Structures are given as structure tokens and as C-alpha cells.
Amino acid sequence: MWRWAIAAAVLISILLTVLIRHRRHRRRLLAELAIQRQGDVDQYPVTIQSTVEPGSLAEAFKREYIVRIENFVSPEYLQSLRAEAERSVPYMTPSFIPTHKKGRTLSYEKIHSHAPGCLGFYHSPVVHEWVTTIVGMPVFPTPDGDQSSLSILCYKEKGDHINWHYDHNFYRGRHFTVLLSLANESATGGLSQSNYLKKHPDGQDQVFGTSPNTMIVFEGARVLHKASPTTEGDLRIMLSMTYCADPRTNVLKEFARRVKDTAFYGIRALWD
Ligand SMILES: [Fe+2]
């Protein structure tokens, strides 16, 4: 009996030591990436072409918790983001949860290596100002350790989708999701069959078109939403960003957030 207890205690202490060392290594790595990325923000300035006044969307956001803006950035800038995203497809993590989601995702950490322009967009003070004005409160990027703070979502195989869900908030302040459509096309050249939908409380579905260069700002904890399935030959790529009014969290919420992220990035999300 004592032998088993001692063996279990030794095993637990070894696992804890390995985990603590791994977490220290991860913190150092993420801190280094955070220092380096300022160069990307400076090197890839965002060129917004929309003439919409962001303040004019604040009332609609307050009422609906979602707004949509077409032709947000310049065509050349959009093309550069799309090219980065397409080059990154081999580095994306495939995911498949029967009946809930199927697709590929490039994590925040990998975006630091493969998509510096997308990284620059997420951290652009100009974009922060837009989102802040629309949602009516100062927002900040969510933490570096959250792999969904910035991600590239790619639906390129038949049946890729995500079913009805809320974007759960694991932070102290209100949490907002921003989607920028980088590509959305069918094999024949028109728009793909995959649409962004919002479910209204009365059960009605509302389609929010995501033609390329459309930006959607919404509060995912209040908006039940989904992306309907792609068909053969479709290509749909979204830059997905999350911002928060207060990005502090606690141990329990952090653990819950990691469990959620296993659906996108696999089991490593629990300790990475
Ligand atoms: Fe979502």
C-alpha cells in the first residue's frame, strides 16, 4: 500500500515539475513573440478604405450586438492578407467534431511566423479605434496565450462548417469578435455556399453576407451564430479576432477556455 502511495506521489511531482517548466518556457516564448510583433505592426500598416463613420454603427450595435461593414480595407491590402492566409494553409490545424464543426485553423502563435500582415491588422491602433467606437467602450487584444485571440479560419473541403454556438466569454470584461472575410468563393467563381447566420430569439435565421472584404463585429456571448457548410470547390477564409474590455481572467475560466480550444487546436491547447 505504502509503495503505491509513494510511487503515485513521485509520479505526480515529476508531472508537476515538467508542467511548470513547460509553462515557464511558453511564457518566455510568448513574451519574445510579443516584443517582435511590434515590427510587423509598423511594417504592415492597415489601409482602410471604408467611408463609413464607425460612430454611426454604435446605435445598431447597442441594439443588435452585431454590425457589418462592406469593402473595409483597400483591395491591394486585402489581397496581401489573403495571399498570406493561402500560403498558411499547410500549417493549419484540421479539426472535426461530428455535427458541430469541421475546418482548419491557423493559431495566433503560428500567425506570428506565417502571416505578419494579419498580425499587424489585429494589433493596429486604427482597427482598435474602429472597434472601440462601434462597441462603445475601449477594447484590448485578448491575451497572447489564447490561441483564438487571432486566428485564420479556412473552409475548403465539402462540409466544412461550424454549427450554432455562442462565443463564450472567459474574461472579466465584455468580449467581442471581429471577422474580416479574406476569401469566399465557389468553384464557379461566385460566392461560396457557406454563410454567416445569426439566430434571432423568435427562431428566425438572418444571413450576414461575408463577401470578401466584409467585416463583421459582434458580441459572440449574446449572438447565437453559425457558418453553414461549404460545398465541393468552395473556399472561405476568415480572419478571426477577439477583443475584450478587460482581458483579465482567472484559473477556472482559463482552464475552461483551454478545453474549448482543444476543438480548434487539439489536445495541446490544454498545456501550451
Ligand atoms: Fe463563433
Looking at residue 263, what is its pLDDT?
A: 82
Measure 42 CA to ligand 1 centroid, in angstroms: 29
pLDDT, one tens digit per residue, over 18-52 is 888 888 888 898 888 888 888 888 899 999 999 99
Q: What is the CATH number of domain 38-270?
A: 2.60.120.620
Measure 221 CA to ligand 1 centroid, in angstroms: 9
Element (H, E) at 108: helix 108-114
Q: Model's pTM, two decimal places? A: 0.90
Looking at residue 20, what is its pLDDT?
A: 87
Instruction: Inform me whether the pLDDT recorded for 1 exceeds 80.
Output: no
Q: Which residue ranges make up each domain of the chain?
A: 38-270
The whole-chain average pLDDT of the chain stands at 93
Nearest to 177 by CA among 103, 120, 122, 118: 122
Is residue 152 a contact partner of residue 114, using CB atoms and an 8 Å limit?
A: no
Measure 25 CA to ligand 1 centroid, in angstroms: 30
Measure 110 CA to ligand 1 centroid, in angstroms: 20
**How far is 107 from 149, CA to CA, in rounded Å?**
9
Element (H, E) at 254: helix 251-265
pLDDT, one tens digit per residue, over 191-240 is 988 888 989 888 899 999 999 999 999 999 999 999 999 999 999 999 99
Measure 235 CA to ligand 1 centroid, in angstroms: 18
**How far is 138 from 252, CA to CA, in rounded Å?**
25
Measure 246 CA to ligand 1 centroid, in angstroms: 19
Measure 245 CA to ligand 1 centroid, in angstroms: 18
Least confident of 54-68, 219-233, 251-265: 251-265
Kind of pairing, strands 224-227 and 93-97? unpaired
